[in-house]
Amino acid sequence: MKIRLQFGDVVVELFGGPSHTLADVAAQAGRPLSMLCGGRGRCGRCRVVLRSGRFLVDGRPVEASVDHPIPSLACRTGPAGPLCEVDIPPTSLNDAAGRIT
């Protein structure tokens, strides 16, 4: 599955499977997300927007489209279709200095 992550003007494409979360994929891209709760879905710091494609959110299938983007938690969401496009807001990134933004 191809996963296209958009960090502002920068687009990164990676491949991942259903066992990967979007937080895993962002970390693999060298842009780890803020994950204060350790990926338990409680802090809300890893918010992303599912822009298009099929995903699993807490094991439930969802389908996003340009007309129907879906806010979601990257730690609870994985890819489930051949092409998944995701917007990563700068507020969800764990910046290079280690400071939570």
Q: Site residues (CB under 6 A) for ligand FES?
A: 35-37, 39, 41-46, 73, 75
Tell me whether residue 3 or residue 74 sits nearer to ligand FES (CB atom). Answer: 74
Tell me whether residue 1 or residue 48 sits nearer to ligand FES (CB atom). Answer: 48
Tell me whether residue 32 or residue 66 sits nearer to ligand FES (CB atom). Answer: 32
CB of 76 to ligand FES, least distance (A): 6
Which residues make beta-bridge pairs with 47? 73
CB of 20 to ligand FES, least distance (A): 14
The secondary structure of 14-77 as a DSSP string is EE--TTS-HHHHHHHTT-PBP-TTSSSS-S-TTEEEEEEEEEEETTEEEEEBTTB-EEEEGGGE
CB of 67 to ligand FES, least distance (A): 26
Tokens of 91: 């507020």
How many Cα atoms occupy the beta-carbon half-sphere of 101 within 13 Å? 14
